[in-house]
């Protein structure tokens, strides 16, 4: 039927309502469910019109708590009801850009994200005879299973968005946007029914241990703590019972001196109980460092002259001095320089340099001695 220009606007609005029909069914229970159909009805001028969606939905029969449930479907087909399909043919109705959102209701509560139904534009043509049936695709949101309760999935009201057009006088089409909500006719069928099992147990695959010694300045490495089945393993280093670092390696700090070090692993896998293992590494000992050679003493070893200590440089250390006369400490001679008095005549003078660093053992090095001349 061709519409006149004066009737075109009203006809397009009615066509926009007609285009809705309703969304249908998504089957599913065990691993692979037989085709199931959900019936819907859409109200528009002229009364409600029936439609349905049928599909073969796949899902696991069981799933572990914490694993997201994923549904998929094949053979998805949307059918327009016979109560108005003839009107679609009379008006030469055409559609494009049709999509629909369908609330996914899990155990009576709708998920925040709906399922989405899409059609290929090439398929959206009213047939010359029979019901209008269009193949479709449906995308499901992931369904959480954190509560541990078995999962029962149904669908709610379908909201269609589309572009719809009628044949115009003189030929051609003008597409207009249309939105059509469709309610479930009667009780919504169950499209998925999945048993949620208790979380599994992760078995130890390799023992947790730390490689290296708990000594200031040393690097400790975490190995093991892995599980069967494989899981994501995170390491935490504990010093004095408190978390001090994360990751597979830890460098022992001066502040750790004298404290107990432990290593903890946390193995996680969706659908399994978290496995936490802790092992003792040991009590932190002082670190050691090496002084590359003895300090030197510069200057003439002669009464009235000044000697200067030249210690070897060691990064991060503090040095102190003690001058010696014939191997014995000279009272008050703790500076880098020493002025030789008459009392040093004929004596052997040397300097003792002490290196200190927090968390490390102290190192003392003495220079070679110089005999003082007159």
Asked whether 317 and 357 are in contact (CB, 8 A), the reply is yes
22 sits in which H/E element: none
Rounded to whole angstroms, the Cα distance separating 1 from 206 reads: 76
| pLDDT score for 292 | 95
Asked whether 57 and 36 are in contact (CB, 8 A), the reply is yes
| pLDDT score for 16 | 35
Rounded to whole angstroms, the Cα distance separating 360 from 252 reads: 11
Q: Does residue 23 surpass a pLDDT of 90?
A: no
- Quickly tell me which residue has 């007609």 as its tokens: 18
CATH architecture, domain defined by 296-371: Sandwich (2.60)
Give me the DSSP letters along 303-320.
TT-EEEEEPPP-TT-EEE
Domains 203-283 and 296-371 share a fold: yes
- Structural domain spans, the chain: 5-197, 203-283, 296-371
Asked whether 169 and 3 are in contact (CB, 8 A), the reply is yes
- Quickly tell me which residue has 């069914």 as its tokens: 25
Give me the DSSP letters along 159-195.
EEEEEEE-BBTTS-B--EEEEEEEEESSSPPPSEEEE
Report the Cα–Cα distance between both ends of the chain, in Å, rounded. Answer: 132
Q: pLDDT, tens digit, for every residue of 153-177?
A: 999 998 888 888 876 656 667 888 8
| pLDDT score for 53 | 84
DSSP 31: S
| pLDDT score for 343 | 94
Q: Calculate the CA 41 to chain-centre distance.
A: 42
| pLDDT score for 1 | 18
DSSP 12: H
Position with higher pLDDT, 172 vs 362: 362
Q: pLDDT, tens digit, for every residue of 255-300?
A: 999 999 999 999 999 889 999 999 999 999 999 999 999 999 999 9
pTM of the model: 0.65
What is the average per-residue pLDDT within 141-145? 91
CATH architecture, domain defined by 203-283: Sandwich (2.60)
Closest CA to 218 of 161, 163, 261, 180: 261
What is the average per-residue pLDDT within 289-314? 96
Least confident of 67-71, 151-155, 164-168, 316-320: 164-168
Rounded to whole angstroms, the Cα distance separating 255 from 248 reads: 20
Least confident of 100-114, 126-140, 149-163, 341-355: 126-140
Rounded to whole angstroms, the Cα distance separating 271 from 168 reads: 58
Q: Does residue 146 surpass a pLDDT of 70?
A: yes
| pLDDT score for 171 | 65
Asked whether 77 and 138 are in contact (CB, 8 A), the reply is no
């Amino acid at each position: 039927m061709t519409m006149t220009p004066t009737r075109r606007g009203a006809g397009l609005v009615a066509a926009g309502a007609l285009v809705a029909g309703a969304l249908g069914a998504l089957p599913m229970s065990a691993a692979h469910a037989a085709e199931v159909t959900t019936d819907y009805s859409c109200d528009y001028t002229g009364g409600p019109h029936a439609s349905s969606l049928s599909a073969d939905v796949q899902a696991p029969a069981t799933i572990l708590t914490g694993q997201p449930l994923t549904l998929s479907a094949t053979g998805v087909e949307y059918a327009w009801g016979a109560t108005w399909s003839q009107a679609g043919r009379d008006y030469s109705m055409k559609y494009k850009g049709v999509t629909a959102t369908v609330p996914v209701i899990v155990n009576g509560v709708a998920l925040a994200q709906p399922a989405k139904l899409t059609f290929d534009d090439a398929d959206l043509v009213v047939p010359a005879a029979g019901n209008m049936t269009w193949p479709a695709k449906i995308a499901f949101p992931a369904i959480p299973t954190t509560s541990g309760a078995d999962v029962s999935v149904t669908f709610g009201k379908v909201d269609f968005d589309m572009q719809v057009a009628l044949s115009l006088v003189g030929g051609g089409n003008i597409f207009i946007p249309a939105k059509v909500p469709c309610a479930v006719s009667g009780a919504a069928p169950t499209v998925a029914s999945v048993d949620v099992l208790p979380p599994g147990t992760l078995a130890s695959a390799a023992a947790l241990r730390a490689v290296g010694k708990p000594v200031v300045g040393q690097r400790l490495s975490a190995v093991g703590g892995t599980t069967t089945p494989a899981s994501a393993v995170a390491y935490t280093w504990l010093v004095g019972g408190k978390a001090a670092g994360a990751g597979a390696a830890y460098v022992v700090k001066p502040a750790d001196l004298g404290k107990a070090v432990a290593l903890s692993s946390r193995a996680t896998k969706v659908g399994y109980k978290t496995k936490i293992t802790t092992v003792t590494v040991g009590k932190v000992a002082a670190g050691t460092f090496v002084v590359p050679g003895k300090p030197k003493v510069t200057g003439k070893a002669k009464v009235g002259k000044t000697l200067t200590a030249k210690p070897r440089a060691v990064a991060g250390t503090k040095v102190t001095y003690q001058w010696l006369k014939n191997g014995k400490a000279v009272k008050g001679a703790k500076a880098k320089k020493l002025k030789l008095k008459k009392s040093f005549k004929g004596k052997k003078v040397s300097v003792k340099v002490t290196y200190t660093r927090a968390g490390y053992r102290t190192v003392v090095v003495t220079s070679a001695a110089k005999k003082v001349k007159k």
